[in-house]
Amino acid sequence: MLEMKIKEKACRGCKLCLDVCPTECFIFNDETEKAEVSVLENCIACLSCDYICPSGAITHNNHHVVANFYRNIHFSQRMEKFL
C-alpha cells in the first residue's frame, strides 16, 4: 500500500508540491504554514513532489516504479532558484 509522508520540520512552506501535483493530493495549512497530505488515494506516485521539494521533505514508500513517469517541466524549472 502506498505511503506518503511530509517531514513537518523540513517543510519550508513554498507550496511547490501543491503547484506540481497533478491530482491535488496536498492542502496548505495556513496556521502552521506547512503542506499536508490531503487525499492520498488520489496519488498516482508520479514522484514529482519528491523531486521538486527544495527541502527533500516528501517521501513515498511502497509505490510502483512504473508510475514514476510524470514531470512538469515548468514547475521543475522554478526549483532552480533553490539550487
Inter-residue contact 59 to 13 (CB < 8 Å): no
Q: How far is the CB of 23 from ligand SF4 (least distance, A)?
A: 5
Q: How far is the CB of 64 from ligand SF4 (least distance, A)?
A: 11
* Residue 3 or 13 with smaller CB distance to ligand SF4: 13
Residue 26: what are its φ and ψ, rounded to 5°? Answer: -110, 155
* Residue 57 or 64 with smaller CB distance to ligand SF4: 57
Q: Where are the alpha helices (DSSP H) in 2-81?
A: 16-20, 48-52, 73-78
* Residue 12 or 76 with smaller CB distance to ligand SF4: 12
